[in-house]
A = this chain, B = another copy of it.
């Protein structure tokens, strides 16, 4: 099997050619950085990914973590990999120098993380969860809590979790029942049950910092009564070291389809009424804190979908090049040698679709990462505009790659034929791992409701207008040879505007019907944005083509243009169905009755 995770040529194209990440170095935050320091971070990430993540990817799947009632055991390679990521500084990679960080932009951190995920998604989850939890502690916890927990989290000595979901309430956070009671010492006693908590128990770190959503006694009903608590597995002693066990018990591990190396836990908080929790920020504002982190975590999920999709594509490509079988219809004489299957038109179709999905998803995620960088460190209207588009696109950054990454993996299995159905090849492992991404951090159905029920209308719809304008600018500045694609995209944009107007009229008076086809809206806008990014990729490739020095470079750019063509001929037309469903306010699904099923 090939050891290519995400081709560095591809990462460089997305970072430098597409997103011009070098220009970030002009900002004071990144003034010490340069393409060289970015590449050096990527070199380190790639080396760790190849040497310490990839080799136990299959092993961690075959020998998933176990719980003997006291301790969770897992393959020892996981801790080695986790420690290497921490020691190389990646958990603090985004953070300021004063926190011991590398002060790297999100774009570059995303690229580094994509390498870990492509190599071994379930081991990568541990540092990722810790980074996300550390971000919440940094931004919202009191100075005391920050001091106690943040440095150890950023160093990888403490890991983190996000404890939102409860058995009776998955997506519906309004209904959580975990409660918090103020104790005399100003801390809280937490009581409740959480499920599907990734990384909720293990022996990888000295302590686990759970960020727990709970309701303080007497809080308002619904999401407005949710507070956020820091609940450590071990309470700290006077030296800040983990000491007494807190009243958090592992009730059991879930056994999953994929991502098996990541413990997914059921946790009981306060079985003995002794679970100490520390309030983060103000009471009842927990959800907004969690969501600031969650929105960026959603880009992480999208990047996961893209990275695993891309890894599967590389596996299929490698197999197709090396597997001789059959002959072309025009030269079917059985006395001649068979050709490698990459020569068969239908295999090319499956590989080209994977390329279009995986590299399209990568380009979407790197666009999202650049928006985060701009929302954080640009100034004036550039900053505002980045935030506007980022808010609008967050559901798509999560949902599109997590839908099309797995589709790519499905095709990767198919390219392998019978071999793809065996566990001797990793295409099936990619497919199983990637199946989590459309579900966690808000199912794609929830993303579609977030998009059409909220994001499209925020700030009087300025986000969508700005995105529209951005895409029209690309069309106007495209190479002449892509004019037809530009016209096709322009027409689609017109239809999206029309659809949005129609829905705006209905959504007020009948929100159920107005939102009924939200998934079609998500698909339509997602496919359109990716089509736009493929036009941009083709434009960049065309421009670079005139300066190429090697046949390899020429082939790389030619491939980009061909994949863009694939997207315009084979993919964008599928949006027509969504447009038709949405324009007609089709009621087929919503009018289906329970007893008719």
Contact = CB atoms under 8 A, between A and B. Distances in A.
Interface of A: 165, 168-172, 174-175, 195-196, 221-223, 254-259, 264, 317, 321, 324-330, 333-335, 338, 342-352, 355, 413-414, 417-418, 420-424, 428, 431-432, 435-436, 438-440, 443-445, 448-449, 453, 510-512, 514-519, 551-552, 555-556, 558-559, 562, 565-566, 569-570, 573-574, 576-577, 580-581, 586, 588-597
A341 to B, nearest CB: 9
Contacts of A592: 348, 351-352, 559, 562
A413 B428 contact: no
A16 to B, nearest CB: 21
Contacts of A175: 325, 334, 338
B326 A555 contact: no
Kindly name the residue among A174, A345, A436, A517 whose own CB sees the greatest number of chain B CB atoms within 10 A: A345
Given A175-B338, A352-B592, A439 B424 contact: no
A351 B424 contact: no
A511 B449 CA distance: 47
A573 B569 contact: no
Contacts of A169: 325, 338
Contacts of A449: 329, 346
Contact of A439 (B347, B420, B445, B577): B420
Contact of A414 (B343, B351, B439, B576): B439
A335 B413 contact: no
B423 A435 contact: no
Given A569-B586, A574-B577, 10 more contacts: A222-B335, A255-B424, A256-B422, A321-B594, A329-B514, A330-B510, A421-B435, A421-B436, A551-B595, A573-B576
Contacts of A443: 414, 417
Given A326-B171, A352-B589, A422-B255, A334 B569 contact: no
A295 B566 CA distance: 34
B576 A588 contact: no
B335 A221 contact: yes
Given A566-B589, A592-B562, A418 B440 contact: yes
A168 B419 CA distance: 11
The 5 closest A-B pairs by CB, nearest first: A222-B334, A559-B596, A329-B511, A345-B516, A349-B589
A348 B422 contact: no
Copies of the protein in its oligomer: 2
B566 A573 contact: no
A470 to B, nearest CB: 26
Contacts of A420: 439
Contact of A351 (B196, B338, B344, B597): B597
A217 B256 CA distance: 51
A439 B418 contact: yes
A221 B438 contact: no
A418 to B, nearest CB: 5
Contact of A573 (B324, B344, B352, B577): B577
A438 B414 contact: yes
A581 B346 CA distance: 14
A255 B424 CA distance: 7
B515 A345 contact: yes
Contacts of A514: 329
Nearest to A453: B329
A170 B414 CA distance: 13
Contacts of A423: 255-257
13 contacts: A171-B325, A221-B334, A254-B424, A345-B590, A346-B445, A417-B439, A431-B435, A551-B595, A552-B595, A556-B596, A559-B592, A559-B597, A570-B586
